[in-house]
Amino acid sequence: MKITVETSIKAPVGTVWSAYTTPADITQWNAASDDWHTTKSTVDLRVGGVFSSRMEAKDGSFGFDFAGTYTKIVLHELIEYSFGDRVCTVEFMSGANGVTVRVTFDAETENPVELQREGWQAILNNFAKHVEAHH
């Protein structure tokens, strides 16, 4: 099953793309709630390149690495990656009012679909706030 989340950002596509793919930016926005944060991020933005983000609860109670391999990249338009046996597509669609970022990913089986959608949407909302506030 696929899940799709999206947001609109009032910024040029180059700015949005950069904030999505730059480790220093990723550590600023990549969290689903205020009690989580990303402590470390690496990006090798090329087909076959890998990325990793260390996500941790701020109280130190739990953490995990979210990592994958890029499978397709079209500058300022599309990023596809695999993570485990799942895949994700990130689309950057420029329009008159900025950029729509749409993320479509394979659902996992451990958590309810709605919980997954809410978590990924919350991260994408944080991303939009970060870009609009800092760029």
User: Residue 97 to residues 12, 79, 101, 115, 121: CA-CA distances in angstroms?
Assistant: 9, 21, 12, 29, 20
pLDDT at 134: 86
The pLDDT value recorded for residue 2 is 98
Separation CA 123–CA 127 (nearest Å): 6
Q: What is the topology classification, in CATH, of domain 2-134?
A: Alpha-D-Glucose-1,6-Bisphosphate; Chain A, domain 4 (3.30.530)
Instruction: Enumerate residues 6+ apart whose C-beta is below 8 A from 106.
Output: 1, 2, 3, 86, 87, 88
The DSSP line for 74-115 is ETTTEEEEEETTEEEEEEEEEETTEEEEEEEEE--SSS-HHH
The reported pTM is: 0.95
In tens, the pLDDT along 59-113 reads 999 999 999 999 999 999 999 999 999 999 999 999 999 999 999 999 999 999 9
From CA 106, how far away is CA 85, in angstroms rounded?
A: 9
CB atoms within 10 A of CB 134: 12
Reported as a pLDDT band with limits 50, 70 and 90, residue 135 is: confident
What is the per-residue pLDDT across 25-67, written as a single tens digit (0 to 9) for each?
A: 999 999 999 999 999 999 999 999 999 999 999 999 999 999 9
- Asked whether 117 and 108 are in contact (CB, 8 A), the reply is no
> What would the two tokens of residue 15 be?
């700015």
